[in-house]
């Protein structure tokens, strides 16, 4: 299984923030916007207000691990941006996965049943 392409350019993130659809939960915010035939691309942001670099990197690892289990069910050409929140630090990737799956299902990236939100 190959890894999703990651968003790196600031303009790609701002395009998702400005033109994308958004779903928010206490643990994560998800932005989704269509792209032009580039497959599924994913980006993660964790603001400095979440804590030290160690805590922000842990949030990114948790989000990346949760998305890796959902990635095979994703279809289409979408840019997805996940924004970590304070509650993300206290969760495990298995706790975050149902929330992420429900967001991506509601936004049309994943087809399937909707999970619970935390």
Angle between helices 93-106 and 53-70 (to 10 degrees): 60
Task: Using pLDDT thresholds of 50, 70 and 90, give the confidence band for residue 118.
Answer: very low
At 85 the pLDDT is 96
Inform me whether the pLDDT recorded for 59 exceeds 70: yes
Residue 90 Cα distances to 46, 53, 70, angstroms: 14, 15, 20
Please state, rounded to an integer, the average pLDDT across all residues of the chain: 91
Q: Tens digits of per-residue pLDDT, 17-28? A: 999 999 999 999
Collapse the DSSP code of 62 into the 3-class scheme (helix H, G, I; strand E, B; otherwise coil) and give the result.
helix
Residue keyed to tokens 């967001």: 103
Inform me whether the pLDDT recorded for 50 exceeds 50: yes
At 115 the pLDDT is 47
Selected residue with higher pLDDT from 16 and 118: 16
What's the pTM value of the predicted model, to 2 decimals? 0.91
At 111 the pLDDT is 79
CA distance 117 to 95: 10
Inform me whether the pLDDT recorded for 72 exceeds 70: yes
Inform me whether the pLDDT recorded for 38 exceeds 90: no
């Amino acid at each position: 299984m190959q890894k999703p392409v990651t968003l790196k350019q600031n303009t790609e993130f701002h395009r998702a923030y400005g033109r994308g659809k958004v779903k928010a939960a206490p643990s994560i915010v998800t932005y989704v916007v269509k792209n032009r035939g580039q497959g599924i691309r994913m980006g993660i942001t964790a603001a400095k207000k979440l804590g030290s670099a160690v805590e922000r990197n842990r949030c990114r690892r948790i989000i990346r691990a949760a998305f890796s289990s959902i990635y095979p069910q994703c279809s289409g050409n979408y840019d997805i941006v996940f924004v970590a929140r304070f509650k993300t630090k206290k969760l495990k990737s298995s706790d975050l996965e149902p929330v992420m799956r429900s967001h991506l299902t509601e936004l049309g990236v994943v087809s399937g049943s909707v999970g619970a939100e935390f």
